[in-house]
Every structure is written in C-alpha cells, then in structure tokens.
Homo-oligomer: A and B are copies of this chain.
Amino acid sequence: MDAAFKALADPTRRRVLRLLNRGEMTAGQIAEQFQISAPSMSHHFNVLKQADLISARREGQQIFYSLNTTVFQDVVAALLDLFPQEEAPSLQARSDA
C-alpha cells in the first residue's frame, strides 16, 4: 500500500496509468508519448509493477503493460479511510472496496 501511494506521487507515472486506462499498451507505445528516455520509462514501469498497479506480459520482442484494477480498489479504500465518511456521503464505497 505504501508502495502504491509512492508510485502515484509521480506525475509521469499517473499519466502512464491514465494511458493504460484505455487498454494494454507496449512499453514502446507508452514511451513514445513522453519526452523521456526509454530506460527512465522502464524505471517508471518497474515502480508501478512493484506497487502492483500494473502487470507485464511479453509477446515476442514486446512487453505489454496493463492495469491491475484490484489494487486500485485497495488504494481508493485506503484513501477513503483517511477522510471522514460523513463528509463524503456520495462516495460511501467502503463496503465494496
């Protein structure tokens, strides 16, 4: 959980997650959206993977990344836990997460 919050702290990584929102993408497809070297992107993928926010799958030379939505649920639950529930009546998703 700690790793997930740390992973979300970086804007580049949040943008990666937003891209993967629409479906899986290869490392190269993701990287070409950024002005950052491939090794640096690879590092970001690793941080997201360590936090269990994304999964990797190799197909030939390429590696496809995709979101791990289950862990996302946990993060939202943890975030909700930080704030009073009565102040967020329309977001009372604790029982689901």
A residues with a Cβ closer than 8 A to B are: 2, 5-6, 8-9, 11, 14, 17-18, 21-22, 67, 69, 72-73, 75-76, 78-84, 87-88, 90-91, 93, 96-97
Query: Which B residues touch A69, using CB under 8 A?
Result: 83-84, 87-88
Least CB distance from A70 to B in Å reads 9
Query: Which B residues touch A90, using CB under 8 A?
Result: 93, 96
**Given A76-B76, A91-B96, A84 contacting B6 (CB threshold 8 A):** no
Among B11, B82, B87, B97, the residue within 8 A (CB) of A91 is: B97
8 shortest interchain CB distances as A-B pairs: A9-B9, A90-B96, A69-B87, A17-B82, A72-B83, A91-B93, A6-B9, A5-B9
